[in-house]
Structure 1
């Protein structure tokens, strides 16, 4: 068999499950993983892929120890002898005020969204390095570009960390024939994305007005997100395979998905450029040693 093998985390719902469907629909193979095998199997049975010959369901908790993940990914490679595309999709979003959440909640978020993602990546890399071939897809978020939004602090920080180390990773593995794609989606209409709700175990009254304002805003979002998830995962597939709308295009390091993602990236870039072009520029440029003649 010559079709690519995809390993996708977080496949019991959302982008992960939908991307797996697109992969199979294009006669490619997928190892679909989730930390809950019962839920994963039920989800794939429901969409008619539970027993498909091009699908292998795989139990994987990205928060396991690094050594355990290396063992699990070695086992996954044995499914078809190769992993061509790794898609780090597993993650969750905890909303809450930063002072109320503190380092404890941030660490919990990072264990899944940052350290788990990195550990899965480093577990697959030896296999890709040996073959001098592979693609790593990191599912980020436009939230890192609008981190000034209250209650998104720990989630935005995690996604920003993923982008930063993935930029470094891309430069390190490119000479080895391995590509990295950082996907930055806006808001997409997937199920369960707001299931984690708000962290309210340590509420501080001074934040009540801001917290309530944000809750009122966020509670109106589910079901009204502008992004079509089927179109979103098709775009990812097209870029990875160089087909469809990506045919003939140069490989991008970043893939922004959605008008809201574009808006937030442009706003952030414009804010930074405006500051650099303002009268604060004399301070920015005024801290160097005199130029030697």
Structure 2
């Protein structure tokens, strides 16, 4: 292993597996237990780095056990709270004697109409995608601060840019929150030489998209009739989607390139943001164009609320 080898910790959440027609890529379609996480593990190990792969259930990681001397497995549920997670982080550090890169990859997607789900539904979503990220990151930061070096990767989503889409409000709002969290961390950690990378992917062919029960929140039999029309439109649209065009192998290779400043990242400054996929690009451009249009059309009002002496 080279002197530049890094130690990575990747969080993951156990998802129901589905059988894929293409067995050669099943490892990427199956959290660190599946999807992006599984592809990321493969890519990192291929670069000669070391990986601590975590999941809510070790059963979902058993297939990886003993496959590589640079891989360790650890049970970690990101919703267990700060005290348990700090203890788990200390256990993880003991595997290889340090930590260089934290990847907040654990996620959950609870689809449903906001009013029907209420705050309980929203809290369930935020518990994984926001508070889980916060607890894991703050558990890792003392080790990165001690050596004044490290990288925190946070997997966001293009959904943060399209919350108007009926049924994804809880997920989109959690990702919007975690995007702001990533930006806040980037400002607070820069002077410590700790970099933050916010990954904003399109839909990719991972188990998050294919997981059984993905649409359960939209199919509520006790739903509010006033929402039947947008609910049905959303379900029809979801069911008519072709398979996502995003290749998770290529996506995770790009993430590793940026963290290691190799490949596509050579000669480029640290990006802070890494947008992956055409759909994510389109969503961000559409939202920024919408906001620019607003600022132009309402410029007189935007600027006209200042005290006269300050105009």
Does the 8 A contact of 1:101 with 1:202 survive in 2? no
Aligned twin of 2:15: none
What are the Cα deviations for residues 247-293 of structure 1, in whole angstroms up to 9, with x where unaligned?
11100110000011110000000000000001x22111111111359
Aligned twin of 1:205: 225
What are the Cα deviations for residues 215-266 of structure 1, in whole angstroms up to 9, with x where unaligned?
0111233x61011111100110111111011111100110000011110000
Segments of structure 1 that go 5 or more residues without pairing to the other structure are none
Distance 2:102 2:215 in 1: 29
Aligned twin of 2:283: 264
Aligned: 1:21 with 2:45: no
Instruction: Pick from 57, 60, 72 the counterpart of residue 36 of structure 1.
Output: 57
Give every structure 1 segment of 4 or more consecutive aligned residues whose post-TM-superposition deviation is greater than 3 Å: none
Aligned twin of 1:241: 260
Aligned: 1:6 with 2:24: no
What is the number of equivalent residue pairs in this alignment?
286
Aligned twin of 1:288: 306
CA spacing shift, 1:136–1:242, aligned 2, 3 Å: same
Instruction: Pick from 47, 60, 75 the counterpart of residue 59 of structure 1.
Output: 75
Aligned: 1:122 with 2:124: no
Root mean square deviation of aligned Cα: 1.4
Does the 8 A contact of 1:93 with 1:194 survive in 2? no
Distance 1:146 1:124 in 2: 31
SS at match of 1:291: helix
Distance 1:28 1:147 in 2: 37
Deviation at 1:191, TM superposition (A): 2.4
Distance 1:115 1:68 in 2: 14
Aligned twin of 2:194: 178
Does the 8 A contact of 2:203 with 2:209 survive in 1? no
Distance 1:204 1:89 in 2: 33
Instruction: Pick from 158, 172, 187 the counterpart of residue 142 of structure 1.
Output: 158
Distance 1:289 1:178 in 2: 41
Aligned: 1:216 with 2:236: yes
SS at match of 2:267: coil
Distance 1:211 1:36 in 2: 33
Q: Single out whichever of 202-211 and 249-258 deviates more from structure 2.
A: 202-211
Does the 8 A contact of 2:158 with 2:283 survive in 1? yes
Distance 1:237 1:291 in 2: 52
Distance 2:60 2:191 in 1: 39
Aligned twin of 1:88: 104
If the length of structure 1 is used for normalisation, what is the TM-score? 0.94
CA spacing shift, 1:249–1:185, aligned 2, 3 Å: same
